[in-house]
Amino acid sequence: MATAPALDKPPAAATGTTAVHRRKGVLSHWRLYAAISPFYLLFLCFGLIPVGFSLYLSFHRWDGLGAMEWAGLAQFRYLLTDTDFWSSIGNTLIIWALATFPMILLAMVTAVMLNSAVRFKNVYRFAYFLPNVTSIVAVAIVFGSVFSTNFGLMNALLQAVGLDQVAWLNTPWGIKVAIATLMTWQWTGYNAIIFLAGLQTIPSDLYEAARIDGAGPVQTFLRVTLPLLRPTLLFVLVVSTVTGLQSFAEPQVLLQTTANESTFSGGPDHAGRTMVLYFFQQTFDNNDFGYGAAVAWGIFLVVVLFSIINWRLVQRRGED
Amino acid sequence: MRLSRRGLLRAGLAGTAATALGGLAAGCAVPAGSTGRNMVLWYWSGGLSDTVVKEATARYGKDVRLKAQQIGGYYRSKLITTLAGRAHIPDIAGLKGEDMASYLPNADQFVDLRTLGAERLKSRYLDWKWQQGVADDGSLVGFPIDVGPVVHYYQPAVFDKAGLPHEPADVSRELDTWEKFFAAGEQLRRRVRGAFLLTDVGSVFEMSLGQGTTRFVDRDRHFIGDGEHVRACWDRAVEAKRRGLVSDIVSGTPDWNSAAERGLLPSQLNASWAAGDLKLGLPKTKGRWRVADCPGGPSNVGGSFLAITKACREPERAFEIITWMLDADNQAQGFVDAGLFPSTPASYGMRRLREPDPFFGGQITMDVYGPAAEKIPVAYNSPYDIALGQPVRDEIKNVGVLGKDPDQAWRDAMGKCRRIADHLGVSY
């Protein structure tokens, strides 16, 4: 960061006084801190302490009720060699990629259209937001019908254009596509609204300048809109990564059958078994709370890794 | 009144202080169990008869205030969280049958019902069910609510068309073994276009396993899932697939409903409570189903228990309440209200349960359910059974749905079982 401009760095003298002021400020503003403390207290109780406990748990064997038994690193050692866990990471990433890239494209197109819509703007915004606040369980049940083999809407469409039926929920790829479609449907509208907010922060004189310079709509989009939307894109990408990597209810409900079997198994060949689904199976089907906690931390590391990758990708593009 | 910033801050501060103080005070005084005259009962929607719960509340109202609470969501995890947290533990708790094996190693959380005189009631309940509530140390943790005898639901019109026996007594007699059942399936497929005997291979594997007395892990914490008894169930399921008796439909989907309605899936092996699902899911098929014995013999799926927790202040009273709620009379009521099949054989002869059922063409279904329930074998359910049965169940599904090579699937399942056994400290 040696080449970083020194503009935002305040003069040395000013730094000293600010520091003193700041130190005094913490004490003199105790009322303000007290006033915002409910969030932090609740976060401590229901966020930080459980997170700490799950770390503690991952070094033990526990059936949820009896005595805990120290396991050292055994749970993590097993995690590293657990092919089921690795395959669940693969499933999650494939489903995430199948869902996120079409979703971002659709959301951006939707946002640009919403931005230029003149009438009923709020009606559109409401309509696009609706899928995101609909209960995922209800959505998954509807999608279960949409993707059913003989009477599903999807196969009806395929047959209408002369293609063969696909047993969506009975083939490994069909399952992944079905889950990804559900997630795309659910998140496109939400992200379109985020993009719309981003679009509206772009000053209109930039567009005017582009027009005067003779740029067409495509060029304007690629040279003006897209670069200025980069922070929004980063946000959308990070949020989609975090939610996509934690997908759970979608495969669980979509692949639920009335057969007497575990709802966490993820369908044939475990094609829909995401990381979080695997975590649930280990924890609540097998009552292996220690290993469940280790799986949860494995998931955490994967999410962190992908957040960093996302951030670096978008960041680097900004530099060149 | 104008709200000043200072005023708002003060209000916020006061609120925080009150919350913190309240939390602190509550934290110090959280009772382990119920308080006052309360006797708290936890169960889930449909887990007990509403009529019986209401009557029990009134009946014991002069002694205790019976607070029956339906706990929604993932019941077991809520119960063990509460037990582990040692706060607000219910006095009486419902335990689901499939979770029973995981509660039993923690029998010390519950009152041994033998100490309250449960033994003298033993003869009134199905013995195999009673045994399921007994922990390794011999203490009785769970008191029987209902059972789920597995029977053969079928559509007589379709069976008739296929030239198969179609009267319940004939079906029970002539399709009494898996071999005859499969042969009937081949005939069905030949004579009725597009019809399949089985929805998936899972039911064959599951019901076959339930007909035996051994499962995946024995009492000595030894993995026995590679034994002949599991392999035989596996081979039977593979055979059903090989002989083309299995549909490619997923149960519970609109496809399944439609196929069943059109008579293309005219047969289903399932527990007594599945009758409720049929009635609810396929109301149009009223009168078109009958009940017969399951091929290969009786087995059980589901059924639950009531237990008294250690936090209960009046175990004798609680025991009085649960034994009343689960006597033969009230269990009969449970069947009428909620389809809970009684664990008390004395109920089977009651007139209420011998009503002809119009959904089953006026058949007295108890004639099939009752004898099946009494002949279910006693099997040991290890707390590790679920974890070590899962790979086998997953792989038989891969064989059934994806057509995976059965030998490869079995090897994969066994390889995975050994790894899991090793991880869980189960010998093999």
Mean of the per-residue pLDDT values for chain A? 86
Q: Are B200 and A32 within 8 A, CB to CB?
A: no
User: Across residues B289-307, what is the average pLDDT?
Assistant: 96
User: Across residues A158-172, what is the average pLDDT?
Assistant: 90
Closest partner residue to A259 (CB to CB) among B16, B19, B203 is: B203
Q: What are phi and psi of A64, to 5 degrees?
A: 95, -15
**Band of the pLDDT at A116, cuts 50, 70, 90?**
confident
User: Across residues B195-201, what is the average pLDDT?
Assistant: 96
Residue A61 in contact with residue A69, Cβ under 8 Å? yes
Residue B9 has pLDDT above 90, yes or no: no
Residue A318 has pLDDT above 60, yes or no: no
Residue B227 has pLDDT above 50, yes or no: yes
Residue in B255, B256, B419 to test binding to A, most A beta-carbons within 10 Å: B255
Residue B277 touches chain A, beta carbons under 8 Å: yes
**Band of the pLDDT at B8, cuts 50, 70, 90?**
low
Q: Nearest CA to CA, how far is B125 from chain A (Å)? A: 25
Smallest Cα–Cα separation from A155: which of A174, A136, A133? A174
Residue B3 has pLDDT above 70, yes or no: no
Closest partner residue to B9 (CB to CB) among A31, A258, A262 is: A31
Residue A1 has pLDDT above 60, yes or no: no
**Residue A125 confidence (pLDDT):** 80
**Band of the pLDDT at B254, cuts 50, 70, 90?**
confident
Chain centroid, CA B47 distance in Å? 10
What percent of chain B stands above pLDDT 70?
A: 93
Of all residues in chain B, what percent are helix, strand and coil, respectively (each to 5)? 50, 15, 35
Query: Exposure string (b/e) for A154-189, b if CB count within 10 Å is 16 or more?
Result: bbeeeeeeeeeebbbbbbbebbbbbbbbbbbbbbbb
Residues B103-120 pLDDT 10s: 999 999 999 999 999 999
**Band of the pLDDT at A22, cuts 50, 70, 90?**
low
In sequence order, what are the residues at sequence separation of 6 or more whose Cβ sits closer than 8 angstroms to the Cβ of residue A96? A240, A241, A244, A245, A247
User: Across residues B316-343, what is the average pLDDT?
Assistant: 96
User: Across residues A23-40, what is the average pLDDT?
Assistant: 83
**Residue A55 confidence (pLDDT):** 96
Q: Which residue of A has its CA nearest to B424?
A: A288
Mean of the per-residue pLDDT values for chain B? 93
Closest partner residue to B252 (CB to CB) among A37, A84, A258 is: A258
Q: Are A64 and B80 within 8 A, CB to CB?
A: yes
Six-digit token pair at B65?
């205030």
Residue B35 identity (one-letter amino acid): T
SS3 state of residue B93: strand
Residue B26 touches chain A, beta carbons under 8 Å: no
Q: Are B254 and A152 within 8 A, CB to CB?
A: yes
Residue B106 touches chain A, beta carbons under 8 Å: yes
Please tell me the distance from the alpha carbon of residue B366 to that of residue B361, in angstroms, as a whole number.
Answer: 14
Q: Are A261 and B202 within 8 A, CB to CB?
A: yes
**Band of the pLDDT at B2, cuts 50, 70, 90?**
low
**Residue A41 confidence (pLDDT):** 93
Closest partner residue to A169 (CB to CB) among B12, B76, B250 is: B250
Residue A6 has pLDDT above 90, yes or no: no
**Residue A14 confidence (pLDDT):** 46
**Residue B152 confidence (pLDDT):** 97
Residues B260-271 pLDDT 10s: 999 999 999 999
Residue B278 has pLDDT above 60, yes or no: yes
Q: Are B9 and A41 within 8 A, CB to CB?
A: no
Please tell me the distance from the alpha carbon of residue A175 to that of residue A188, in angstroms, as a whole number.
Answer: 20
**Residue B345 confidence (pLDDT):** 97
Residues A224-269 pLDDT 10s: 888 899 889 988 988 898 889 988 988 988 887 766 677 888 888 9
What percent of chain B stands above pLDDT 90?
A: 87
Residues B128-183 pLDDT 10s: 999 999 999 999 999 999 999 999 999 999 999 999 999 999 999 999 999 999 99
Q: Are A287 and B383 within 8 A, CB to CB?
A: yes
Vertex B280: Cα angle to B305 and A179 (nearest 5): 90
B151, containing H or E segment: strand B150-154
Interface of A with B (CB under 8 A): 31-32, 34-35, 37-38, 41, 61, 63-66, 78, 82, 84, 144-145, 148-152, 167, 169-172, 256-262, 265, 268-270, 281, 284-288, 291
Residue in A36, A135, A286, A288 to test binding to B, most B beta-carbons within 10 Å: A286
**Which of chain B's residues have a Cβ under 8 Å away from the Cβ of A65?**
80, 83-84, 103, 106, 109
**Which of chain A's residues have a Cβ under 8 Å away from the Cβ of B13?**
31, 34-35
Residues A170-204 pLDDT 10s: 899 999 999 999 999 999 999 999 999 999 999 98
Please tell me the distance from the alpha carbon of residue A206 to that of residue A218, in angstroms, as a whole number.
Answer: 15
**Residue B418 confidence (pLDDT):** 96
**Residue A204 confidence (pLDDT):** 87
A–B CB contacts, 8 A cutoff, strictly below: 122
**Band of the pLDDT at B335, cuts 50, 70, 90?**
very high
User: Across residues A62-75, what is the average pLDDT?
Assistant: 92
Residue A149 in contact with residue A155, Cβ under 8 Å? yes
**Residue A136 confidence (pLDDT):** 86
**Residue B11 confidence (pLDDT):** 67
User: Across residues B198-223, what is the average pLDDT?
Assistant: 95
Vertex B94: Cα angle to B89 and B97 (nearest 5): 135
User: Across residues A103-122, what is the average pLDDT?
Assistant: 86
**Residue B143 confidence (pLDDT):** 98
Q: Are A150 and B105 within 8 A, CB to CB?
A: no
The mean-pLDDT minimum among A19-23, B85-89, B197-201, B312-316 falls in A19-23
Residue A19 has pLDDT above 60, yes or no: no
Residue B249 touches chain A, beta carbons under 8 Å: yes
Q: A317 forms bridges with which residues in the sheet?
A: none
SS3 state of residue B65: strand
For B267, counting Cβ atoms within 10 Å of its Cβ (0-12 exposed, 13-18 middle, 19+ buried), the class is: buried
**Residue B200 confidence (pLDDT):** 93
What percent of chain A stands above pLDDT 90?
A: 44
Q: Are B253 and A144 within 8 A, CB to CB?
A: yes
The 3-class SS string of B33-60 reads CCCCCEEEEEECCCCCCHHHHHHHHHHC
User: Across residues B224-238, what is the average pLDDT?
Assistant: 97
Q: Nearest CA to CA, how far is B101 from chain A (Å)? A: 11
Residue A9 has pLDDT above 50, yes or no: no
Helices (H), ranges, chain A: 12-28, 30-43, 49-57, 74-81, 83-116, 121-133, 136-146, 153-160, 172-200, 204-212, 217-220, 226-228, 230-245, 249-254, 275-280, 289-319
**Residue A313 confidence (pLDDT):** 77
